[in-house]
């Protein structure tokens, strides 16, 4: 058994193989739209839309004045705009949302405020029929 190997190949890394984390710190302000594919933690302020994040974490002191579209969204601060969470939305007790919400799953903790409509998408699996669809198929 050899301690050193002649095989010096490094494992391939694709653009999305590593989770990236971007932080907008307290006191930092961004004017303009933000787009990322990783995790975005915001404790500062963004005046613009945030799109594409796998996960968006808005801290208690953070604010977004624009629309949000991400996979998983956790809000502790203020959002003035619509939120679309492809998978899950969590509104902590300090959250304020002034806009419509569209998500598959939502958790609203006591104290959170929503000033807008909430729409929850239903997941339809191929071959899975709802009660209304079963009645149509059976002819009842």
* 12-63 tens-digit pLDDT: 444 554 569 999 999 999 999 999 999 999 999 999 999 999 999 999 999 9
pTM of the model: 0.75
Question: Could you state, in order of their start, the residue ranges of all structural domains in the chain?
Answer: 21-120
User: Any residues with CB less than 8 A from the CB of 86 and at least 6 apart, and which?
Assistant: 69, 70, 71, 72, 103, 104
3-state secondary structure of 132: helix
Radius of gyration of the chain (CA): 21
Mean pLDDT of the chain: 85
């Amino acid at each position: 058994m050899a301690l050193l190997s002649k095989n010096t190949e490094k494992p391939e890394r694709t653009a999305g193989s590593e989770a990236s984390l971007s932080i907008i710190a307290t006191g930092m302000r961004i004017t303009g739209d933000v787009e990322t594919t990783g995790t975005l933690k915001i404790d500062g302020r963004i005046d613009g839309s945030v799109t594409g994040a796998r996960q968006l974490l808005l801290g208690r002191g953070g604010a977004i004045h624009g629309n949000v579209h991400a996979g998983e969204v956790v809000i502790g601060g203020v959002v003035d705009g619509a939120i679309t969470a492809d998978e899950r939305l969590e509104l902590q007790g300090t959250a304020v949302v002034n806009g419509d919400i569209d998500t598959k799953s939502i958790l609203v903790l006591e104290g959170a405020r929503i000033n807008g409509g909430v729409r929850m998408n239903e997941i339809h699996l191929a071959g899975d029929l709802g009660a209304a669809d079963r009645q149509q198929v059976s002819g009842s």
